[in-house]
Amino acid sequence: MLRPQETSSRERVGLNGLWAFALDPGDRGRAEQWWRGPLPDAVEMPVPASFNDVPATRDAHDHVGDVWYQREVRIPAGWAGRRVVLRFDAAAHRAVVWWNDVEVGRHEGGYTPFECDVTEHARPGEIGRLTVVVDNRLEPSTIPPGIVDVLPDGRRRQRYFHDFFNYAGLHRAVWLCATPRSYVRDITVTTEVAGADARVHYRVDVVAGQVAEVVLRDADGAERARGTTAAGTLEVPDATLWRPGHGHLYRLEVRTSGDDADDYALPVGIRDVKVEGDRFLINGEPFYFRGFGKHEDNPVRGKGHDDVHMVHDFALLDWIGANSFRTSHYPYAEEVLEYADRHGIVVIDETPAVGLNFEIAHTLVPGDPPHIWAAIDDTTQAAHLRAIQELVARDKNHPSVVMWSIANEPDSARPEARTYFEPLVRAARAADPSRPVCFAQVQLPPDKDVMSDLFDVICLNRYNGWYIDTGDLVTAERELEAELREWVRLHGKPIIVTEYGADAIAGVRSVAAGTWTEDYQIELLETFHRVFDRVDSVIGEHVWNFADFATGYGVNRADGNKKGVFTRDRRPKAAAFALRRRWHPKED
Ligand code: GCB
């Protein structure tokens, strides 16, 4: 699905700002048809933001079920005869949308966009009432999965098997967009590097019309190649490549034919990605991933996208010498990928399939969650498949995205895991044959894993010295090295350690380096680095985590997860300086 754009044929109006908002703990809204009039007892809620922490009440923070958003929207008078859609960049996790009294769309999956066509209902020049109900419940059939318990007093309690807070709501931008009736629905671009030259393969999907021309321009606007068909290959002699640290972008301008022609411009980075033996090649050059698993997480706004926080995070990535990150554990806002494209930051793009693991479920939630492979069924798998397809559909054209991660830490030891994942890996490759596919593997000995051979790169989340051999970095170093060498022996594939780290409370120091201190965090990272430097097949290190982040309640979490090398408000812990010395060896 293409991002909304302003072009000669397209307009967009941002619907961000303060909306009317109501929690619906008693499930009254759907029964009473709240979309038919003003929301009862509404408060004001900023969009985009996760709703949970804005009102400063426990009720909002812990709410489980529906929340309602509403605002008035004027359709510009000049939009007569145009196709008009509402575009939600995300609604976590399930949404239904009404324009006045008419339902115009619904979507499940909290991190991918959807559109509602209101052409037939919205009259140019008139004001309409836009109402959205967003349900934040996670169930065994959703991605990510969860369980909702009804307590004896009638309250609901959400359990989930992932280690970050279940922020929800309209936490990304909402748009009102106009296009011609005949319009460009989608563009797919893949690029191939051949010596100094390159090929740009493109496919344009037009609704009710035809492609007139496709023009590839360089950053200075100069035309580099041209086509006149809906699909084809553009030859680009002496191409300037997109590469890590250099986000060079061309523009692919697509125009349709006819009086009411559409026009769309897609940024294109020319690069290719391959796995060869135990190397990860970008434009034929071995690439070493230095960076983090991140989260979209900030005080008050939760997962609400915000350009200030985004640019600041990228500035800190630059300061520390990171060249890449993983969108753990869900697709991030499209603004983030566009920024990474422009600045040459490499991204491993992950689906929201996190928590498909019984052992972890056990440690994260009170009570006794059901065995995960018993609770997870074809419906979960279908939701997971949709999550993969929607991720690829949204992000396939970003040069920064070099690999798909289709899950984080599923239980990959049981035979059911292989049966469940095999078709999903096939589907990911079918959706995008141009990028490698991986999953982030939970701490599990290589001989116990039943599915890593299906994937291109071995991605390991490892907590030696923290969850395992806590406090004993000598054993951690020995065991980690032995394990990595075993992965090399069994698979001969490139290895990225996609998570390693220790919780550290900022300001807690110790000469004896006890757990939870800033000093132990550094020692643990340095222990891992010594091992990485000895094992040749390790082609990447992503520290867990970039910054401290909010989690659900838990006795092993102190006001959230503290494995950040920055605090939640982005102040560096001592580990940030240590990483900077490793990743920027020439600077202080
Ligand atoms: C993991 C998970 C991550 C957690 C982390 C931790 O393995 O992938 O989501 O936050 O461990 O700190 O426990």
Distances (CA, A) of 232 to 184, 265, 329, 404: 16, 17, 35, 25
Q: Does pLDDT of 438 surpass 50?
A: yes
Which one-letter DSSP state was computed for residue 261? -
In this prediction, residue 586 has a pLDDT band, given cuts at 50, 70 and 90, of: low
Q: 77: buried, middle or exposed (CB in 10 Å: 19+, 13-18, 0-12)?
A: exposed
Average pLDDT of the segment spanning 398-408: 98
Q: How far apart are CA 506 and CA 527, in angstroms?
A: 20
Q: Could you report the per-residue pLDDT of 133-172, keeping only the tens digit for each?
A: 999 999 988 999 998 999 999 999 998 889 999 999 999 9
Sequence-separated (6 or more) residues with CB below 8 Å from residue 181: 81, 82, 83, 208, 260
Phi-psi region of 536 (alpha: psi -120 to 50; beta: other; left: phi over 0): alpha
The Cα–Cα gap between 311 and 582 comes to 23
CATH number of 275-583: 3.20.20.80
Burial 272-309 (b: 16+ CB within 10 A, else e): bbebeebbbbbbeeebbbbbbbbbbbbeebbbbbbeeb
Atom in ligand 1 nearest the alpha carbon of residue 162: 9
* Pair of tokens at residue 464: 């030696």
d(CA 408, ligand 1 centre) in Å: 9
Mean pLDDT to the nearest integer, 47-58: 97
- Average pLDDT of the segment spanning 106-133: 97
Residue minimizing CA distance to atom 5 of ligand 1: 163
Residue ranges per structural domain of the chain: 11-179, 183-261, 275-583
> What is the predicted ipTM?
0.99
pLDDT for residue 82 is more than 90: yes
Q: Which residue's CA is the closest to the ligand 1 atom numbered 9?
A: 163
Q: What is the pLDDT of residue 588?
A: 43
- pLDDT tens sequence across 227-245: 999 999 999 999 999 999 9
Kindly report, residue by residue over 307-347, the tens digit of the pLDDT: 999 999 999 999 999 999 999 999 999 999 999 999 999 99
> Who wins on pLDDT, 377 or 588?
377
pLDDT of residue 456: 98
Share above pLDDT 90 across residues of the chain, in percent, rounded to a whole number: 91
- Give Cα separations from 165 to 59, 210, 361, 507 (angstroms): 15, 46, 14, 24
| Ligand 1 centroid from CA 206, angstroms | 43
Query: Which atom number of ligand 1 is nearest to the Cα of residue 503?
Result: 12
Q: 267 or 554: whose pLDDT is higher?
A: 267
Residue 92 Cα, ligand 1 centroid: separation in angstroms? 21
How far is the centre of ligand 1, averaged over its atoms, from the C-alpha of 389 (Å)?
Answer: 25
The single residue listed with the structure tokens 């979960």 is 380
Task: Give ligand 1 pocket residues (Cβ under 6 A).
Answer: 163, 329, 408-409, 461, 499, 544, 561, 563
DSSP symbol at 483: H
**Residue-level pLDDT at 328:** 98
- Summary mean pLDDT of the chain: 95
Q: Which atom of ligand 1 is nearest to the CA of 329?
A: 9
| Angle CA 57–60–65, to nearest 5 | 160
Residues 501-556: tens digit of each pLDDT: 999 999 999 998 789 999 999 999 999 999 999 999 999 999 999 999 999 998 88
For ligand 1, the distance from its centroid to the CA atom of residue 68, given in whole angstroms, is 32
CA distance 77 to 178: 12
- What's the rounded mean pLDDT across residues 351-369? 69
Question: Do 108 and 114 form a contact (C-beta atoms < 8 A)?
Answer: no
> Which residue has the least CA distance to atom 1 on ligand 1?
461
- Residue located nearest, by CA, to atom 4 of ligand 1: 163
Percentage helix, strand, coil for the chain under 3-state DSSP, each rounded to 5: 25, 35, 45
- Annotated catalytic residues are 409, 499
- What's the CATH class of domain 183-261? mainly beta
Give the pLDDT band of residue 375 (cuts 50, 70, 90): low
How far is the C-alpha of 423 from the C-alpha of 7, rounded, in Å? 40
Q: Of all atoms in ligand 1, which is nearest to the CA of residue 563?
A: 12
Query: What letter does residue 103 receive in the DSSP assignment?
Result: E
Predicted pLDDT of residue 416: 85
Least confident segment among 2-16, 116-130, 371-385, 445-459: 371-385
pLDDT band, residue 373 (cuts 50/70/90): low
Alpha-carbon distance 500 to 293, whole Å?
A: 9
Minimum mean pLDDT among 118-132, 365-379, 439-453: which range? 365-379
For a ligand 1 pocket test, name from 462, 544, 568 the mutation site with the most ligand atoms within 8 angstroms of its C-beta.
Answer: 544
CATH 2.170.120.12 at 11-179, yes or no: no
